[in-house]
Amino acid sequence: MKYPGHIIKTGESDVALVIALKKQLNKMLAISRQPALKLDTSVTEFDAATKQAVMLFQSQKVDNTGLPLKIDGQVGSLTWEALFGDKSVVRSDTTSDYLSRVLAIAGKAADDKVREVPINSNSGPEVDLYLKTAGMRSGLAWCVAFIYYCFDTAAVELGRSNPMVQTAGVLDHWSRCVKEKGASRITSAQAAADPSLVRAGMIFVMDHGGGLGHSGLIESVAGGIIFTIEGNTDASKTREGGGVYKLSRKIADINKGFIDYAGL
């Protein structure tokens, strides 16, 4: 059964969905050995007993990257995938030749292990080039400059214009991309409710407060997980790391949203 594209929780109006969910919970939790917990599938509401069963399931299972599920009694895409299997959720790869080239350039930088020189300097041969291409001086935070460099290099190679805003600022990029370039934006709430909106080639945006943030490219999507290529980070997923890395993040952890330049 495919993920329905929204979070299933108390008050769910789709009767068939609630019944299917209860049947799967009964099966996956082996509640037959705990009769008191068995969900009554003749009751078509997502009731307190259903929420309790979901929380029990979440406490026992992990997502597709091995991380614990959030125990909230709501069935989002990660809990759904754990219940119904990895073929029940969306998997996304870009069909755009241009964005595929952007991701290939970014991926090569990660594979080549581009690093700051010296470490923690926001500088180095490649980093300085990223910042220069984005119109910025050496020594600044460079996660967005890295993205802009990948977009610009791909545009030059393919003999076309670069659709991305020229900037090294995470929140500046978010605020300008629609008005100046015609990009599309998806909010964090929209993406959490329907992960199918998030696709490879998009740019994720995180807001850390105080004008600070972090961004990266989405290489692929698997259910509620994005697999990313990011500059100015490291394996800890910090916003001030020393290189280009391939990482994974939960869509629900992206607190600002996503920028989409597809079709521009």
Q: What residue type is assigned to position 178 of the chain?
A: V
Task: Let me know if residue 164 belongs to a domain.
Answer: yes
- 84-93, 115-124, 173-182: range with lowest mean pLDDT: 84-93
Structural domain ending residue among the three candidates 71, 88, 105: 88
Bridge partners, 222 (sequence order): 91, 225
Is there a single domain that holds both residue 64 and residue 108?
A: no
Are both 111 and 161 inside the same structural domain?
yes
Q: Which residue has the higher pLDDT, 48 or 31?
A: 48
Same domain, 56 and 173: no
Please tell me whether residues 65 and 147 are part of one structural domain.
Answer: no
Going 162 to 168 to 173 to 176, the CA torsion angle's sign is negative
Claim to verify: residue 191 and residue 158 sit in the same structural domain? yes
Q: How confident is the model at residue 165 (pLDDT cuts 50, 70, 90)?
A: very high
Q: What is the DSSP letter of 66?
A: S
Query: Would you list the DSSP string of 210-225?
Result: TTEEEEEEEEEEETTE
Q: For the residues 195-224, what does the mean pLDDT come to?
A: 94
**Residue 75 and residue 145 in one domain:** no
Q: Please tell me the distance from the alpha carbon of residue 61 to that of residue 58, in angstroms, as a whole number.
A: 5
In the chain, % of residues over pLDDT 70: 97
How far apart (Å, rounded) are the C-alpha atoms in residues 238 and 106?
A: 18
Q: CA angle, 78 as apex, 196 and 221 as ends, to 5°?
A: 40
For residue 230, what is the enclosing H or E element?
A: strand 225-233
Residue range(s) defining the domain that contains residue 47: 15-88
Domain-located, residue 223: yes
pLDDT at 140: 96
**For the chain, how many structural domains are there in total?**
2
- Beta 212-222 vs 91-92: how paired, if at all? antiparallel
Given the structure tokens 């967005």, which residue do they identify?
144
pTM for this predicted structure: 0.79
Position 35 scores a pLDDT of: 72
Q: Is residue 9 part of a domain?
A: no
Burial annotation 37-70 (CB, 10 A radius, 16+ → b, else e): bbbeeeebebeebbbebbbbbbeebebeeeeebe
Asked, for residue 203, whether it belongs to a domain, the answer is yes
Same domain? 36 vs 77: yes
> 10 lies in a domain?
no
Domain boundary among 88, 120, 147: 88
Q: What are phi and psi of 35, to 5 degrees?
A: -55, -30
What CATH number is associated with residue 105?
3.90.1720
Overall residue count recorded for the chain in this entry: 264
> Looking at 35, 65, 88, which one is the last position of a domain?
88
User: 90-123 b/e with 16+ CB inside 10 Å = b?
Assistant: bebebebebbebbbebbbebbeeebbbeeeeebb
Strand partners, 6: none
Q: Are residues 164 and 191 in the same domain?
A: yes
Evaluate whether residue 253 is within a structural domain.
Answer: yes
Q: What is the pLDDT of residues 3-33, one digit of tens each?
A: 887 889 999 999 999 999 999 999 988 755 6
